Amino acid sequence: MRHCCQFTPEDVYYLRDNDLFSSRKLSIGFCPVCSKPVAELLEWRFDGVMNKVSVSGVSANDLMLSLRDEIVYSLREYNYSKFKSKPFGWVYGINKSVKSGRREVVKQYACDFYGNKELVKSF
């Protein structure tokens, strides 16, 4: 994104396709120099032409509010859900012993430091 300088957006929202445009993406962030909100909308027309709209200040907030019903998912939510699904990164093991009737079953779990746990095997 670009306003007073080049910077990376804080969040990227992927929008629903409409009658005229596909592959719609709304990037929002704050300019590090002047601290104004900046929004950038990228859309591809079906004939292959890209439409780019960059606004800042109050009009950036208006653009975000006008497109909030068309949001499918955000990049921040996607990255957060990736950590919540299965063990990710450094993994350690936990062995649990469960008594079932007269026999004892040992269950091995793979755990990560985000609190996710997955059963590897039991014997």
Instruction: Locate the domains of the chain by residue range.
Output: 11-83, 87-122
Bin 89: left if φ > 0, else alpha if -120 < ψ < 50, else beta: left
Residue 83 has pLDDT above 70, yes or no: no
Q: What is the mean pLDDT of the chain?
A: 88
Residue 87 has pLDDT above 80, yes or no: no
CA distance 110 to 123: 15
pLDDT on residue 108: 94
Residue 123 has pLDDT above 90, yes or no: no
- In tens, the pLDDT along 16-45 reads 999 999 899 999 999 999 989 999 999 999
